[in-house]
Structure 1
Amino acid sequence: MISSSRITVARRRRGLTLAELSHLTGVSIQSLSNYERGRTEPTPDTLEKLATSLNFPESFFHEPDLDPIPADSVSFRARSRLAAGPRDGALAASRLVMELNDWIETRFKLPPNQLPTLDKLDPESAADVLRARWGLGNAPISNMVHLLEAHGVRVFSLPPEFTDVDAFSLWREGTPFVFLSTLKTAERGRFDAAHELGHLVLHGVERSHSGPQAEKEANAFASAFLMPRDSITEHIPDNPMVSQVLEAKKVWKVAAMALTYRLHDLGMLTDWHYRRTCVELGKRGFRKSEPQGLPVREKSQLLEKVFNAFQAKNISFRDVARELHVDTEELSSWVFGLVVTLRSGTPSGRRPSRRERPHLSLVP
């Protein structure tokens, strides 16, 4: 039995239209449409052509149907400017990632969801409340990805071909998911993670994740969560020089432009100083990149622990990919390129604090 929905997911994952897939396979558009609608099934020869063109093993198409992720349940930034192809491709990839998450959850006890619903609060207050509930105080957050994972958020990476998609989040069966691009600067990645956290706690499963107002609220939450008012006002003087902004951004591990915007929002930069600082930062290249920024992007600690546990049981990365009916390159694109990390050993560096370490135990 061939799963019609998996043909659709595989095609969208590769960013192909029916016409483009028809050209690759030599199969008519009408036949492909019938396969995806479940009206007819491809012959063995045709299935082989589809599997080769879509770069999925034939076994992938024999697995159970995949229910699609509704586009309106996802917080895509700049939705009006995002083409249907990249949007559908990112959704297809995230649906496959959920197969990985389900597979992991049958083998490990992962951290439970600890995200409150704060939809009655304004973004600044919501950020303060969440920091208090998680015992963060006003201290800078050392690692956003680890923090999210420790509180039950499943964090995965977006395949690198989706250059137009910064990040997105969604709820699925009571579990919060965040998907992050690996193509942005480390500082931008941290802000994206906080932005998606804002969507999850402010908008939840009831309110719409999309639209200018939702994006504005998520941005305000991220700014307040990463750069608490009391911490900023205590350590930075009013109308600081650019050199002071560049030094201070290292403390909160944020982009220079993000800190500048926060200072202006808090009334610590006059309109004139704000414009002047933005112009100067732009001349130094801070609008498009983050010169001398954080050396590495934040990655998943939870996934690293999972795959290290598999390795200890002589279960290779390739074995996991085979279980999920994908190749190792596809699997690696979901987990921050973790296969490279595993081959070279666990990276050294600062040991995460206890509250940042996601609890993980094998399910008997």
Structure 2
Amino acid sequence: MNDANTFNPSRLILARERSGLTKRSLAERVGLTPKTISNLEKGEHFSIDSINAISDRIGYPVSFFFKSDQEKPMEEDASFRSFSRVTATQKNSALAAGAYAFMVSDWISQKFHLPDSAIPDLGAYSPDLAAQMLRKEWGLGNRPVKNMIHLLESKGVMVFSLAEENAQVNAFSCWQRAEKPFVFLNSFKSAESSRFDAAHELGHLVLHKNKENKGKEAEHQADTFASEFLMPSRSILSRCGGIKTLRSVLKEKQYWFVSAFALTFKLHKVGLLTDWAYRALCIEMSQKGYRKKEPIPGVHEKSQVLKKILDQMRGNGKSISCIADDLSLPEKEIAKLFFNIATVAVPNTKKIEPSSSPPPKLRLIK
């Protein structure tokens, strides 16, 4: 642990990894030698001039590097979609974003009352049965989930966006201190894919809290859970018996708020499409480019919790710069976590001071 007057090498590593830089690339950007960066990250040969140069080039407040050690998601605990295609640099950057989300979440928890976690451990059940049980426990019946992010937040999950401009880091989930669940979603994907990712990560949270959450089998289980959670088999069987054409698939997918491919896969899984019909539809959709661009796209879901917090702050003449100042974080990094809803800066006249009154409750709508 480091006090406020001591340089903290772990903070430099965190900022470098979040910036997607190696020691060599950081050295080149700053005009230092790789040996200098290596020494700084070991806590050796400290130089305030070097820290000032790094701060200036990567856009971090100098004070960031003198804060205490910061908890971040552990690689072994975080579930990444497309894990095998995620490079070490991409993985480290996403995990560093998770560390910043932990900081922001702790800041929010000090000032606002949020729902406690209602994510059960269903690891003893099959993915399909776990999805059915959770739907029943949450009173969803067999109807479509209107908004996955709002639903997760109402059950105590902190949901943040990942502004990663690549297709490899789809999403990931983790637990903070084994108590608070987090889900991170890539904001550059289609609305339908992001919804499925959210359900997929919910699958990891309920199925793999105390089990292995990596590998093909774990990913398959989370996919199976997501499919059943978003499109309950009982409802699909009762509603979709007559679906045979792409036109009918595109119409029905809007009811469930899922991708055309996800619905087609589900129809085949429950036996409503033969192998031949399933292959024919997949070929037709691929030829039309639906793997890269979703037809009849839906609207991207955004965090309700973060929007309400920002609205309340703006009402008091404040912005995310208030959070940035308190946490010594770059404002741009907080904006990246906030689903692009914090792009307009409002002059920051003063910080939110601790209050003796109870923190305000945020009313969340599922």
TM-score after normalising by structure 2: 0.90
Return the alpha-carbon distance in structure 2 between the equivalents of residues 226 and 165 of structure 1: 22
Return the alpha-carbon distance in structure 1 between the equivalents of residues 146 and 274 of structure 2: 29
Pairing partner for 2:362 from 350, 360, 363 = 360
Return the alpha-carbon distance in structure 2 between the equivalents of residues 149 and 342 of structure 1: 25
Return the alpha-carbon distance in structure 1 between the equivalents of residues 330 and 82 of structure 2: 31
Asked whether the 8 Å contact 1:90–1:162 carries over to 2, the reply is: no
Per the alignment, residue 355 of structure 2 pairs with none
Pairing partner for 1:301 from 295, 300, 304 = 304
Asked whether the 8 Å contact 1:76–1:168 carries over to 2, the reply is: yes
Instruction: Write the letter of the residue equivalent to 1:211.
Output: G
Return the alpha-carbon distance in structure 2 between the equivalents of residues 315 and 68 of structure 1: 27
Return the alpha-carbon distance in structure 1 between the equivalents of residues 7 and 166 of structure 2: 28
Return the alpha-carbon distance in structure 1 between the equivalents of residues 126 and 325 of structure 2: 46
SS at match of 1:180: strand
Per the alignment, residue 31 of structure 1 pairs with 36
Q: Which moved more, 1:155-164 or 1:194-203?
A: 155-164
Structure 2: gaps spanning 5 or more residues = 1-5, 347-360
Q: Report the CA distance between 1:163 and its aligned residue.
A: 4.0
Q: Which moved more, 1:285-294 or 1:236-245?
A: 236-245
Per the alignment, residue 206 of structure 2 pairs with 201
**Within-5 A mapping of 1:243-254:** 243-254=247-258
Per the alignment, residue 316 of structure 2 pairs with 313
Pairing partner for 1:58 from 47, 55, 62 = 62
Q: Tell whether 2:299 aligns with 1:289.
A: no
Q: Report the CA distance between 1:11 and its aligned residue.
A: 0.2
Pairing partner for 2:180 from 175, 196, 210 = 175
Asked whether the 8 Å contact 1:5–1:67 carries over to 2, the reply is: no
Q: Report the CA distance between 1:322 and its aligned residue.
A: 1.9
Pairing partner for 2:217 from 184, 206, 213 = 213
What are the superposed Cα offsets for residues 42-84 of structure 1, whole Å, 9 maximum, x if unpaired?
x221111111122211111111112343211111122222111
Change (3 A) 1:225 1:85: same
Q: Tell whether 2:325 aligns with 1:322.
A: yes
What are the superposed Cα offsets for residues 86-142 of structure 1, whole Å, 9 maximum, x if unpaired?
111111111111101111101111110000000011011000000000000001010
Runs of 4 or more consecutive aligned structure 1 residues displaced over 3 Å after TM superposition: 160-163, 340-343
Q: Report the CA distance between 1:328 and its aligned residue.
A: 2.6
Instruction: Write the letter of the residue equivalent to 1:10.
Output: A
**Within-5 A mapping of 1:1-364:** 1-41=6-46, 43-173=47-177, 174-204=179-209, 206-238=210-242, 240-294=244-298, 296-340=299-343, 360=362
Identity value in percent: 41
- The RMSD of aligned alpha carbons is 1.7
Asked whether the 8 Å contact 1:34–1:40 carries over to 2, the reply is: yes
SS at match of 2:102: helix
Asked whether the 8 Å contact 1:5–1:65 carries over to 2, the reply is: yes
SS at match of 1:115: coil
**Alignment size in residue pairs:** 344
What are the superposed Cα offsets for residues 186-227 of structure 1, whole Å, 9 maximum, x if unpaired?
0001000000000000001x2121100000000000000000
Asked whether the 8 Å contact 1:75–1:199 carries over to 2, the reply is: yes
Instruction: Write the letter of the residue equivalent to 2:233.
Output: R
Return the alpha-carbon distance in structure 2 between the equivalents of residues 279 and 36 of structure 1: 52
Q: Report the CA distance between 1:304 and its aligned residue.
A: 0.6
Structure 1: gaps spanning 5 or more residues = 344-358
SS at match of 1:33: helix
Q: Report the CA distance between 1:314 and its aligned residue.
A: 2.5
Change (3 A) 1:341 1:222: farther
Instruction: Write the letter of the residue equivalent to 1:186.
Output: A
What are the superposed Cα offsets for residues 321-357 of structure 1, whole Å, 9 maximum, x if unpaired?
22222233221101101114898xxxxxxxxxxxxxx
Q: Which moved more, 1:331-340 or 1:271-280?
A: 331-340
Q: Report the CA distance between 1:267 and its aligned residue.
A: 1.0
Asked whether the 8 Å contact 2:72–2:98 carries over to 1, the reply is: no
Q: Report the CA distance between 1:253 and its aligned residue.
A: 0.4
Instruction: Write the letter of the residue equivalent to 2:335.
Output: S
Instruction: Write the letter of the residue equivalent to 1:312.
Output: G
Q: Which moved more, 1:239-248 or 1:187-196?
A: 239-248
Instruction: Write the letter of the residue equivalent to 1:49.
Output: A
